[in-house]
Structure 1
Amino acid sequence: MDATEVVSRLEARMEARDWEGVAALVAPDAVIEWPRTGERFSGASFVAMNRDYPEGWSIRVREVVGSGERVASDVEVTQEGVDGVFVATGFWTVRDGRVVAAREYWSGPDLDDAPAWRTPYQLGDGGP
């Protein structure tokens, strides 16, 4: 299985809450980083944290691309009771059919409000 398939299956298994299946795709000593919040997880704790995350969420994979052992993913996550969509871009390293490292950048409702001063520069708002 190539690296893009590993990451695609990982996201599908997370959506299915197949935690044993997720653990099979993430090396226990992998390092997963969330730079925006300064969090770092081992592979085993990443699986446990996602398993214990409050229910009501759903993942939709928009794209998974890559070459060799490096993969980039783009996903949307909705959460019951939250207006809006969370998005995550991930950069994954896969070896021997398992994730060994990742860095995910998350954004979403109330996480990143665009400052008003940038409005004139946005497409569709009279920007360049």
Structure 2
Amino acid sequence: MDTRALLTGLAATIDAHDWEGLPALLHPDFTCRLVHTGEVFDRDGWVRLNADYPGFDRMHVDDLVVEGDRGVLRARVTGTDGAGERLEFVVASFATERDGLLVELVEVWADVDQVPPEGTRPVA
């Protein structure tokens, strides 16, 4: 499978909550690094993280750029917190394909309702 198909399939599989199908897209040497926490997961650990993540609802692809065996997927992820409040995050996933499978993923997560720090924007 090429990188575009892998990333498109990854998003569709996660959106469908198809945790049994997710490992089929990941190379046995797969690793995922979460930039915001510094955590690194292997294939089984990353599948488990996604399957067990509380409140996850949907993943929607906003942008996908691919060049050879590298690609970047930007997506919105929605869900709810423990009190039932709606949450929305944006993730940029930087991927590398090897042997038709995803071998490396680096994820950068952002909370979309963050307010810029005071004094960092010009006053109109």
8 Å Cα contact 1:86-1:106 kept in structure 2? yes
Pick the structure with more strand per residue: 2
Pick the structure with more helix per residue: 1
Q: What is the total number of aligned residue pairs between the two structures?
A: 121
Unaligned runs of at least 5 residues, structure 2: none
Q: Which amino acid aligns with 2:32?
A: I
What aligned pairs does 1:1-128 form with structure 2 within 5 A after superposition?
1-80=1-80, 81-108=84-111, 112-120=114-122, 126=124
8 Å Cα contact 1:28-1:44 kept in structure 2? no
Q: Which amino acid aligns with 1:2?
A: D
Q: Which amino acid aligns with 2:116?
A: A
Q: Which amino acid aligns with 1:107?
A: A
TM-score, structure 1 length as denominator? 0.85
RMSD: 1.8
Aligned residue for 1:50, secondary structure, equals helix
The runs of at least 4 consecutive aligned structure 1 residues that moved more than 6 Å come to none
**What is the deviation of 1:84?**
4.7
Unaligned runs of at least 5 residues, structure 1: none
% identical aligned pairs: 35
Aligned residue for 1:119, secondary structure, equals coil
